[in-house]
Amino acid sequence: MLNNIKLSNILFLDIETVSFCEHLKELPEKLQYHWARKAKSFLNDTNDVDSVYSERAAIFAEFGRIICISTGFFTSTHEELSFRVKSFFGHEEKSLLTDFSLLLQRLNKDNSYILCAHNGKEFDFPYIARRMLVNSVSLPEMLDIAGKKPWEVNHLDTMELWKFGDYKHYTSLDLLTQIFGIPSPKGDFDGSLVGRIYYQEKDLQKIVEYCQRDVVAIAQLFLKYRNEPLMVDSQIQIITP
């Protein structure tokens, strides 16, 4: 089935998120109250509500925000496959979400495009949709899945594909890159450090480059699922703003 999908009809993506504020005390009082209620489920003897906010808030769309969406798509020229990577990033979440929404609307005029991410169905896709609504950005059709039947939702998930129906099984992108011989996207840090790098080191560009490596890795993994050769560096192009 995967080999029947045109590679040029897939938009690969990955997002990076941070807590809405650096410190819990910066949130409005009512949101602090709601965080305290949510945090009860994963507090232990070694942490408190404040420290857990710094560690975990970014994964919840109600308490986090998106600082980067990296996308990638295949093109073919002279029978050679190439992969182009474009990122939407910045400190103004509404602006990057608006630009990303416009891209989806432009690409999907004939409803032929498919979104693909690793754990995208449980994280990236719903997170983007929720943050769009919070920021009053109209949902593009590709993310507006209300009322659609499962087979009408044009979403692929490389983690779900690896499960082969075993819904208890979670496999990280980093592990899959290792077993398939794909260059690791992690470099010198992983997703758990994004908040620190953003708020303390103030190095957004480093986060963007990390996000871009993830997108390339997802596309490489998808090629492996199709028993196709991996791309080499010369086939990958980063589109700069």
- State the DSSP string of 183-235: PPS-TT--GGGHHHHHHTS--HHHHHHHHHHHHHHHHHHHHHHTT-PPPPGGG
Overall average pLDDT of the 202-216 stretch: 96
Q: What is the pLDDT of residue 46?
A: 65
pLDDT digits (tens, 9 = 90+) for 86-115: 999 999 999 999 999 999 999 887 878 999
Q: Rounded to two decimals, what is the model's pTM?
A: 0.94
Q: Pairing state of beta strands 10-19 and 64-77?
A: antiparallel
CB neighbourhood size of 181 (10 A): 9
Q: What is the pLDDT of residue 43?
A: 78
Band of pLDDT at residue 78, cut at 50, 70 and 90: low
Residue identified by tokens 């949902």 is 139
Q: Where in the chain is the domain with CATH 3.30.420.10?
A: 2-14+69-239
pLDDT digits (tens, 9 = 90+) for 21-77: 999 999 999 999 999 999 888 877 667 888 899 889 999 999 999 999 999 999 987
Q: Which CATH architecture describes the domain 2-14+69-239? A: 2-Layer Sandwich (3.30)
Q: What is the pLDDT of residue 111?
A: 79
Cβ within 8 Å of residue 145, ≥6 positions away: 153, 155
The phi and psi torsions of 158 (rounded to 5 degrees) equal -65, -25
Overall average pLDDT of the 171-182 stretch: 95
The phi and psi torsions of 147 (rounded to 5 degrees) equal 85, -5
Residue 22 has what DSSP assignment? S
Under a CB-based contact definition with an 8 Å cutoff, are residues 119 and 157 in contact? Answer: yes
